[in-house]
A and B are shown apart, each in its own frame.
Chain A
Amino acid sequence: MTDDELIWRVAGGSGDGIDSTSQNFAKALMRSGLDVFTHRHYPSRIRGGHTYVEIRAKDGNVTSRGDGYNFLLALGDSFARNPSEHAVYGDEEVKPLSENLDDLREGGIIVYDEGLLDVEDVPNFEERVEENNWHVYPLDLRALAKEHGREVMRNTAGVGATAALVDMDLEHIEDLMSDAMGGEILEQNLEVLHDAYEQVNSMDQPHDLTVPTGEHDEDQVLVSGSHGIAYAAIDAGCRFIAGYPMTPWTDAYTIMTNLLPDMGGISEQVEDELAAAAMAVGASHAGAKAMSGSSGGGFSLMSEPLGLAEMTETPLVLLEAMRAGPSTGMPTKPEQADLEHILYTSQGDSHRVAFGPSDPKECYEQTRTAFEIAWEYQIPAIVVYDQKLSGEYRNVDASFFDREPNASLGKTLTEDEIEEAAHDATGKFKRYQHDAEDGVSPRTVPGQKGGRYLASGNEHWPTGHIAEDPDNRTAQVERRLEKLDAIHEDLDDRDQQVVYGDEDADFGLIAWGSQQGTVEEAVARLNDNGNSVKALGVSDLSPFPVEEVRAFVDSVDEAIVVEMSSTKQFRGLIQKEVGGVATKLSSLLKYNGNPFEPAEIVEAVEIEQNGGGEQPTAQTTLEPAAGD
């Protein structure tokens, strides 16, 4: 096997330290000069249950998980050993070795903890090994760990074994361990690492998988989508967050909560998401840059305060980290099916902005945009992402984050400016003036002299008082809508949509949010194989980039809309916003809880190019264009 990439899957039980082990290993690979990408899969359980992280590392840009993997480190599920749980969880214990085993590429490597796992429990193990030319290295990782330290150090033993098998230098791993621990724990871990490394090195190794080598031009950092979002919020001067825990939004919430106190910021954990979003509205009203967020279920509760922020024109940023629904759905699995929920929840005509970034860098950029738009235009802006992007780590140039902060409150007046501003005959500040430029009427903040007004969820006069006068109503509705036109123009200049692939291609793919990187890789593969394909990645969801999407659709004969939704929500949005394109758009859908793999997209394109009509072999669904 001559793979130019390592796709290392570390599999165990929830609570076995898979996350931290994989992060350190990913960092070590990054430090060695490779680009890395992580994909995590975990159950909604604290202890036990098959969980794995895949790290894909190669020399050059990685935008997606790969197809399958070429190295499996199966630690076993140490928490699935309780015999009384057997009836419920069945063969859970062996799952780290048996689950998706057929996705291990031909010639791939298996290291498993023979202290915990018995290959007898894996159906036809020997035959499959032989058939696929897999190389199997059973090691008693637990015993090895116990010999020098404690059982939990078997992860370290697994990493040492991995390094020996793929000819990886231990230097970066040792450095990272020294950063993370000290004293006896560090010494024991280093002993475990070296002992495993040496034991495996002395074994006969007939495989030919080695870790690729690469070099970076500058310092790299390993960050997730949630870091991109949180760091953008910090740089936007956001110092208030309110929330309620919910997977996967908790990732970003926790990062913010841990950072804010040291910056004189405030994090509030409150009774429910309704209060969380209402608190962000209250804090913003009082002058702070504030945010809140949740996942689908919690976002349902935010429907009310979202509408209140729209009507009172209170700047606000909300996050929505999607997971598979409806209802509780699958808490730890991604889906993109909250799109319509986000765009249309809350009564009346909505006035909101929504962005769906594709990777940690876009998470950063578009969260910055969300804060700028929210405060410049006094409107809620929502950053929509999902379980995949939330915890997906990639390397990014460290200098990417070398930015100027911007804590501006937009058109918020100072007391000196208030003196010059419009007031009614009684001295009440005119907060909601009909003829405001771009529809944005300057605001004041409680405590400011001369700025008093009433913010109301009811329709209101320019001073904020409740009004049902038809002329005032029409003027206020039209002014609020005017803001969306101005935002649309503003967003056009920011150009947040991306086109990949062969620009002359007459076959297109369209995706949004976290699936874009996978589509990007599929397009590259198709074009490398002599196909001619291009793709459009859409990030602006509201206001929708109608012209850009129309131009893309016009430039191709047909396009597949790729999304994790069973009801084609994104395709529906395009058809509604752009109009007249329904006969060109087919759909590739996936809703089994796992994100797309590049090969699944390649397969779908090939089917469509051969005239369509067939269903893919993968767990995906092709739905034809209207009229087909």
Chain B
Amino acid sequence: MSKAFSAIGEERDVERDEFTPGIEPQPTWCPGCGDFGVLKALKGAMAELGKDPEEVLLCTGIGCSGKLNSYFESYGFHTIHGRSLPVARAAKVANHDLEVVAAGGDGDGYGIGGNHFTHSARENHDMTYIVFNNEVFGLTKGQTSPTSPKGHKSKTQPHGNAKDPVRPLSMSLSAGASYIARTAAVNPNQAQEIIVEAIEHDGFSHIDFLTQCPTWNKDAKQYVPYVDVQESDDYDFDVTDRREASEMMYETEDKLYEGTVLTGRYYQDSERNSYQAEKQQRGDMPEEPLAERYFDEDYEWERSYDLIDRHK
């Protein structure tokens, strides 16, 4: 157990309710919003894994999804639009014993924060990134987002969206994420299972989480029926095979806009080293989390004076 951070690594049974704030704020999510599904699945997954709320750091972006840590009891950092990932991954680097989860919307992760998404996946930090994909900008009142279908009409695209939507799963694969899945708020059991796997995976886990927006986009019915690609006889591919995964992702991304909702695990590479392991192998990251040192009263801090001879 950590010396300075006793919430970390404690072995105990954890109740799901421990992740519910004692005084639950009035939800700012609309009735029927898919975001409730993420919240529920995340709480369930954390309890299932026996995580203490105080060893979890949940970093969110801006938008309805960014309100997640108002309703989820843990350490939280509600950052700014698109920037949850650099804040989250640095916290992981500074204290790799923390359980770090980042979350945000599709505009947050695939639009304004796309560069951070690419590079966080590439670096393969041992953390989980949940993207609330509702195919629309909800909080700012229904504008077209990076995952909105081609032709999507909104106040900012009055003649219909001229752009094809981004391909979140394919992007993630080419960027270098080592666990990639898609789930949906309408499928709470699968969602919790996938979040558990994502957290347990030692590397960057990306979950594209379909969260219906009944106010601006679609209600839950439009994500039903959904198909679990692992359970369906119609699909057969190896999630550890990059080429097969890539083809399956491509088909899944296309099908969504044709009205068929495919979900499940798409890719997992358990061989690839996490960023932490790579850095440590190179002597570029200490074995003991850096944050511990600041609470160690006996630590003898190195001094610049000991380096000064080279300047004589």
Contact = CB atoms under 8 A, between A and B. Distances in A.
B76 A455 contact: yes
Q: Which of B74, B119, B305 has its CB near the most chain A CB atoms (within 10 A)?
A: B305
Contacts of B83: 274-275, 278, 304-305, 308
Nearest to B286: A264
A447 B95 contact: yes
Given A242-B90, A264-B286, A287-B95, A282 B70 contact: no
Interface string B275-312: 00001001111101011011100010111110110011
Contact of B305 (A307, A402, A415, A456): A402
Given A265-B290, A281-B87, A446 B98 contact: yes
Interface string A267-302: 110111011101111111111111000000000000
Nearest to A464: B76
B7 A447 contact: yes
A194 B290 CA distance: 51
B277 to A, nearest CB: 14
A267 B284 contact: yes
A466 interface: yes
Interface string B53-85: 111010100100001011001111111100101
Nearest to A287: B291
A451 B54 contact: yes
Interface residues of B, number: 67
Given A234-B303, A447-B97, A286 B90 contact: yes
Q: Which of B6, B88, B294, B295 has its CB near the most chain A CB atoms (within 10 A)?
A: B294
B94 interface: yes
Contact of B25 (A312, A414, A449, A465): A465
A414 B4 contact: yes
B294 A449 contact: no
Nearest to B116: A275
B220 interface: no
B80 A428 contact: no
A308 B62 CA distance: 12
Contacts of B118: 271
Nearest to A255: B307
Interface in B126-154: none
B290 A428 contact: no
A88 interface: no
A219 B62 CA distance: 55
A235 B304 contact: yes
Contacts of A426: 21-23
A427 B299 CA distance: 32
A447 B94 contact: no
| Nearest 6 Cβ contacts at the A-B interface | A426-B22, A447-B5, A282-B90, A287-B291, A231-B304, A279-B90
B291 A445 contact: yes
A234 B302 contact: yes
B2 interface: yes
A288 B291 contact: yes
Contact of B294 (A31, A398, A409): A409
A60 to B, nearest CB: 20
Interface string A247-277: 0000000000001010111111011101110
Contacts of B93: 240, 266, 268, 279, 283
B312 A237 contact: no
Nearest to B7: A449
Nearest to A305: B83
A453 interface: yes
18 contacts: A31-B312, A234-B302, A239-B290, A259-B307, A264-B288, A264-B290, A268-B93, A288-B291, A288-B294, A401-B303, A403-B305, A415-B5, A428-B21, A446-B55, A446-B95, A452-B75, A456-B76, A458-B78
B10 to A, nearest CB: 9
A457 interface: yes
A414 B88 contact: no
